[in-house]
Amino acid sequence: MTFSIIRIARTVLNVTDLDRSRAFYVDALGFIETERTDTHIYLRGLEEIHHHSLVLQKADKASVDVLGYKVTKEQDLEELEALFKSKGLPTKWMEEGTQHAIGRALHVQDISGLPIEFYCSMPQVERMLQRYDQYRGSRVQRIDHVNCAVPDVQKAYDFYVNELGFACSEDTVDKDGKLWASWLHRKPGVHDQAFMNGVGPRLHHVAFWLPDPLALIHTCDVLASVGYASSIERGPGRHGLSNAFFLYLRDPDGHRIELYNGDYLTSDPDVGPLHWDLDDPRRQTFWGAKAPDSWFDEASTLLDIITKEEVTTKEPTLEKRKPEFII
C-alpha cells in the first residue's frame, strides 16, 4: 500500500427542500454557507479552510450520495482504483469539473456497499476560526467522522485496516470474541469511520466537532428557542467508547447528525485498541441514560455510485440486538 488517505472530509446528503434544510443547518446550527446554487448548498465549519465539508443536494427523496475521503496526492487515486478493481468492486471517475468545488474524484462501492469518494483537491476559502462575530448556534468547527451500520463488521474491519491502512482505536466484542463494532481512524483522533453490526449498509450518522462541551448544551437551548426541540434525539451525554460528549439531532429529512467534542489523541502506533465488552452498558452512555428506539432502528439510505438507486440492505450476520449500536 503506497497511497495515503488523510481523513473523512465531506459528506453529500440528498434533501427534499433546500430552504428548509438551510434553516436548520445555517440559521439554527450556525454552519457557514460557502455557496448556494439552485440545487446545492455547500457548508463548512468555522475551523475549515476548504470550500465545504457538507453538501445538501436537492433530490426527490432523502438519501446519502457519497462519503468523501481526502487523499494526499493525485496518484493515490489511481492506486486506489487499482485496489478496488482488483477486489471486483465498482469504481467510477468523476473528472474535474463534473462536481462543483472539488477536483477529480474516484467514487467506489466498498466491500460493504458504502458509496465512498476519494479526492485530493478542493478550493480553499477564508478560515473563520478567529471570526468570533460569526460564532452562532452550535459553533460547529469541522467534520469529524461517519458511522455506518453494516451486516458484517469483521469484513468491513479487515478491508479498511488491511487494505486501506486504517487503525483501530476501540472496538466492541462479545463473550466469544466476535467483533460487533469498531472505531477506525486515519487522522489522530478516535475515528474517521465507525462500523457497527446491523441492517446495512446504511449511514447511522455524520458527526461534527464542537469547540467545547458547553457548546452542546448551548445548542439545545438554541434549538428549543427557535422551534427545533423535537429535532433533539439523544443527549447531551458522554460516551464510554471514545470518551466524547455527544448530542444527536435529526435534520428535517431525518438524517442523523452528531455534535461531538472531547475524544483523545491516537497518534502513537504502539497503542492498541481499547476493547469493550458487548454487555458493558457504560460503553454506549457512560452516565447510564438509555437511547431511544429510533436511535437503534433508523438510519439513512445509501445510493449506488453507478445507478443512483438505493443500495440493497442485508440483515446482520450476528444476532440482531440493540447493544450492537454503540455510538
What is the DSSP track for 64-90? Answer: EEEEEEEESSHHHHHHHHHHHHHTT--
For the stretch 81-133, pLDDT in tens is: 999 999 999 999 999 999 999 999 999 999 999 999 999 999 999 999 999 99
Rounded distance between C-alpha atoms, residue 231 and residue 257, angstroms: 10
% of the chain surpassing 90 pLDDT? 90
Q: Is 267 left (phi over 0), alpha (psi -120 to 50) or beta?
A: alpha
Rounded distance between C-alpha atoms, residue 180 and residue 151, angstroms: 10
Confidence of residue 10 (pLDDT cuts 50, 70, 90): very high
Cβ atoms < 10 Å from Cβ of 77: 19
Rounded distance between C-alpha atoms, residue 141 and residue 129, angstroms: 8
Average pLDDT, the chain: 95
Helices (H), 129-176: 153-158
Kindly state the DSSP code that residue 320 receives in the 8-state scheme: P
Q: Domains in the chain, please, with CATH?
A: 5-119 (3.10.180.10), 142-324 (3.10.180.10)
The pTM (predicted TM-score) of the whole model is: 0.96
Backbone angles phi and psi of 231, in degrees to 5: -80, -15
166-170 mean pLDDT = 97
17-40 mean pLDDT = 98
Confidence of residue 321 (pLDDT cuts 50, 70, 90): low
The whole-number pLDDT of residue 326 equals 45
For the stretch 272-303, pLDDT in tens is: 999 999 888 777 788 888 889 999 899 999 99
Residues 102 and 111 sit within 8 Å (Cβ to Cβ): no
Kindly state the DSSP code that residue 173 receives in the 8-state scheme: E
The whole-number pLDDT of residue 320 equals 63
C-alpha cell at 226: 427557535
Rounded distance between C-alpha atoms, residue 305 and residue 114, angstroms: 9
The dihedral formed by the CA atoms of 268, 270, 274 and 275, expressed in degrees to the nearest 10 = 150
Q: How far is CA 107 from the centre of its chain?
A: 16
Rounded distance between C-alpha atoms, residue 156 and residue 62, angstroms: 25
Strands 5-15 and 54-58, sheet pairing: parallel
